[in-house]
Amino acid sequence: MDRQIDITYQEMTKLPKDSCLLVDTRDESATEYGMIPGAVRIAENELEDKAAALPADKKIILYCARGIFSREWAEELREKGLDAYSLKGGYAGWLLERMREAQEEEKDKPESKAKEVEEGIRKKFHKQLFSRFAKAINVYDLVQENDKIAVCISGGKDSMLMAKLFQELKRHNKFPFELVFLVMDPGYSELNRKVIENNAKLLDIPITVFESDIFEAVYEVEKSPCYLCARMRRGYLYSRAKELGCNKIALGHHYDDVIETILMGMLYGAQMQTMMPKLHSTNFEGMELIRPMYLIREDDIKKWRDFYDLHFIQCACRFTDTCTTCRPDGSSVSKRMEIKRLIADMKKTNPFVESNIFKSVENVNLSTIIAYKENGIRHHFLDGYDKK
């Protein structure tokens, strides 16, 4: 009879640390959002080539997002003679277990995790996070008196931090405005839904959850399902926010998202554009989209997350383990990772490259542009060339 291939988190913790090797098989875009402490990353597409270098005298414990593909790889490694296992529930399962432990630890603490985080936003991370949050709101005029803002929470580090920053802004209350912390469940797996709810409870964010069937709608879509899903999510968020009496929705895109979008548009879309700090909705009259994290660096968000030992989901899509666009060869994921690496490489020789990319869309000289579009109308430099 075959040995059991699945191993639980509790069983793993009972093993001597030097007797096993924990391997995260997710791609770089996923592990950027966090890994189980002590794990090494060997992505799925690297496992076969690196299998020979894995220690034969240790238990090899693999995990992916939810323990589906890691199970398949554990079976393959066993065929190669290795003592391989798959962590039951994967990273999402570990997150839930870690949260359960955190809730138990909270009971014995004099101060809650939420209070610690709030104090850190006021002191330790004030300059990197809250100051830049407030600056974006002021520079781009994102929040006005009597606004009612739907703070849209996906469950990741960016939107959760945005919620805490808005709570801090509300505490200052220089003028009256209202907040609704809105979570849309487009068909999350039970695990992902619990992770979002547990994190909201841990951080004292009073979320309002509503459900939709977006995942079902895009399930059969072969071309760009993630793009369609994102567009549909935004429409549902606008609609629900408007029903709740909101006039704005806030999304958690940050500085790095902006500069990556600029380069992706140039290199892959043959166009010059940026991710705007605010936009009027074209389909929902009176509604506006704002991005108050616009000036916050992703590395600072990660430092905040790791300092407080917070763990968030990468993609709450219940098809993450079965949708090819969410796996290492998914074009939308790989393109953004290519851009991240490109910027990191350029930064080695030019430390100002990131700010230069960001400022490039603020310093456009139209007299040196071949053509541009404004309100859907294309203008070409030859149009008035002979009149000058």
Catalogue the E-assigned strands of 94-201. 148-152, 178-185
Q: What is the pLDDT of residue 194?
A: 86
pLDDT of residue 219: 59
- The tens digit of pLDDT for each residue in 19-34 reads 999 999 998 878 877 8
Query: Are 339 and 332 a contacting pair, CB within 8 Å?
Result: no
Q: Coil, helix or strand for 79?
A: helix
Three-class DSSP category at 242: helix
Q: Is residue 344 within 8 Å of residue 28, measured between CB atoms?
A: no
Q: Are 292 and 133 in contact (CB under 8 A)?
A: yes
Splitting the chain (388 residues) into consecutive groups of 10 residues, what average pLDDT does each group show? 80 91 88 86 88 92 90 92 93 85 74 92 97 98 97 93 97 92 84 87 94 67 65 88 97 96 94 96 95 97 94 61 40 76 96 97 93 92 87
d(CA 249, CA 284): 11
**231-277 pLDDT tens trace:** 788 888 999 999 999 999 999 999 999 999 999 999 999 999 999 99
The owner of tokens 């350029």 is 346
By CB atoms closer than 10 A (0-12, 13-18, 19+), residue 135 is middle
The tokens for 347 are 């930064």
pLDDT computed for residue 319 by the predictor: 46
Strands (E), the chain: 6-7, 20-24, 40-41, 59-63, 83-87, 148-152, 178-185, 207-211, 248-250, 278-280, 288-290, 371-374, 377-380
What was the pLDDT predicted at 216? 63
Q: Which amino acid is at 383?
A: D
